[in-house]
Amino acid sequence: MSKRDCYEVLGVSRDADDAVIKKAYRRLAMKLHPDRNPGDTETEEKFKEVQAAYEILSDNEKRQRYDQFGHAGLEGQGGGPGGAGFGDIFGDVFSDIFGGGRGGPARGADLRYELEITLEEAATGFTKKLEIPKRINCGECHGSGAKKGSSPAKCGTCAGVGQVRMQQGFFSVQQACPTCRGKGQVIKDPCGKCRGSGQVQETKTLSVKIPAGVDNGDRIRLTGEGEGGEAGAPPGDLYVETHVRPHDIFQRDGNNLHTEVPIGLVTAALGGEMEIPSLGGRLNLTIPPETQSGRVFRLRGKGLPSVRGGGVGDLFCRVAVETPVNLNDKQKKLLSELGDSLGDKHRPAETSWFDRVKSFFEG
């Protein structure tokens, strides 16, 4: 047996735990195994050295003796190659890759229902009746798939385990039994109603409470309302996913709402009161004199509630001053006279901008 330090052989520290040691052994064994390096005697010797080191460090008693006395403490203790089966070490890894895992009835599939709602419905919440087509456990055979009065028989291929182990080179692969498809049982006398599947198609009506404040992509989980499980296994769940339709007036930003409010030239200059909509009804918005286009007014608590609690959002109204159109001759003359009468002090933003432009061109 090699007298090299076992920790050095596996490339781990002396305080490495069992998981780290096992991982290091797997990596080296995959690389050095003779089946991957045919005819390479040097690599074969390294593989044996790795096996011997792993056998010592994976056994708590041997590892304690080795840590205290070194290789001398293991003489006569069977610390040589061959103690750890290569297939057993790798079986749990490749069983996952090649479809292995524990056998037995599978849990029912989850279902998703996409529900389109209006912004008004999202603001208040409501109860919705849904028609859900799904597969449920057969009432005749109670999901077993076997004819009433009979029962499924143990699978002869896997002896009821639901798995079979196959040797592929140096891989020991565990996979679902091809005969019973991992169930561990076969049905010799199938149920007439479900034809041995254990499930039947049904449309179920459910009442779902949609809470106020839901947004796009929010999901409501209804436990146990998915498809039925195999042979008595629990059913899956139903997820109702909400999608809020775009609104003609409001744009949503989380719990806040935004809207653009057009106002006339006279209202912007002189101020006034105007009626605006909200999801809760009509509101009065006060426009102060000399309001400029683009100004935003915030109406607190007029947005949407939070679906998780924590208050209500706000409504933001951005005013847009509308230029008069389709003027007759008299109106044009009046506006022209008004424009002539307005000095620079009545147009501060325009005057300031032109001053900056002049300075820019003059350098």
Answer yes or no: do 179 and 80 share one domain. no
**In this structure, are residues 176 and 145 in contact, taking their beta carbons and an 8 Å threshold?**
no
- What are the helix (H) ranges across 183-328? 265-270
**Which amino acid is residue 36, in one-letter code?**
R
For 171, the 3-state DSSP assignment is strand
For 150, the 3-state DSSP assignment is coil
Residue 11 lies in a domain: yes
Number of domains in the chain: 3
Answer yes or no: do 234 and 138 share one domain. yes
Residue 97 lies in a domain: no
Residue 34 maps to which CATH number? 1.10.287.110
Residue 324 maps to which CATH number? 2.60.260.20
Which stretches does DSSP call E strand in the chain? 111-117, 126-137, 153-154, 163-168, 171-176, 185-186, 199-210, 219-222, 238-244, 251-253, 256-264, 272-278, 281-287, 296-299, 315-322
Answer yes or no: do 257 and 274 share one domain. yes
CA-closest candidate to residue 135, choices 210, 176, 195, 184: 195
Answer yes or no: do 238 and 134 share one domain. yes
Answer yes or no: do 209 and 269 share one domain. no
How distant, in Å, are the alpha carbons of 102, 147, 232 from that of 162?
Answer: 7, 22, 16
Residue 102 lies in a domain: no
**In this structure, are residues 44 and 2 in contact, taking their beta carbons and an 8 Å threshold?**
no
Answer yes or no: do 149 and 227 share one domain. yes
The last residue of a domain, from among 34, 65, 84: 84
Supply φ then ψ for residue 199, to 5 degrees.
Answer: -140, 155
CA-closest candidate to residue 152, choices 121, 109, 197, 116: 197
**In this structure, are residues 6 and 65 in contact, taking their beta carbons and an 8 Å threshold?**
no
Answer yes or no: do 161 and 283 share one domain. no
The last residue of a domain, from among 201, 224, 244: 244
pLDDT at 170: 58
Instruction: Spell out the residues 6+ positions from residue 270 whose beta carbon is closer than 8 angstroms to its own.
Output: 289
Answer yes or no: do 257 and 325 share one domain. yes
Answer yes or no: do 257 and 236 share one domain. no
- Domain residues for 337? 251-358
Residue 98 lies in a domain: no
Query: Which two tokens mark 74?
Result: 């293991």
Residue 260 lies in a domain: yes
Residue 198 lies in a domain: yes
Q: How far apart are CA 36 and CA 34, in angstroms?
A: 5
**In this structure, are residues 8 and 52 in contact, taking their beta carbons and an 8 Å threshold?**
no
Sign of the Cα torsion 205, 207, 208, 213 reads positive
The last residue of a domain, from among 205, 223, 244: 244
CA-closest candidate to residue 242, choices 108, 111, 121: 121
pLDDT at 81: 43
pLDDT at 144: 78
Residue 93 lies in a domain: no
Answer yes or no: do 48 and 170 share one domain. no
**In this structure, are residues 115 and 126 in contact, taking their beta carbons and an 8 Å threshold?**
no
Residue 103 lies in a domain: no
Angle CA 25–27–32, to nearest 5: 90
Calculate the CA 329 to chain-centre distance: 64
Answer yes or no: do 178 and 158 share one domain. yes
Q: How far apart are CA 314 and CA 300, in angstroms?
A: 5
Low-confidence ranges of the chain (pLDDT < 70): 1-2, 73, 75-105, 167-172, 231-232, 363
Residue 212 maps to which CATH number? 2.10.230.10
The DSSP bridge pattern shows strands 185-186 and 251-253 to be unpaired
Answer yes or no: do 187 and 141 share one domain. yes
In which region does residue 132 sit, left (phi positive, over 0), alpha (psi from -120 to 50) or beta (all else)? beta
Q: How far apart are CA 57 and CA 19, in angstroms?
A: 11
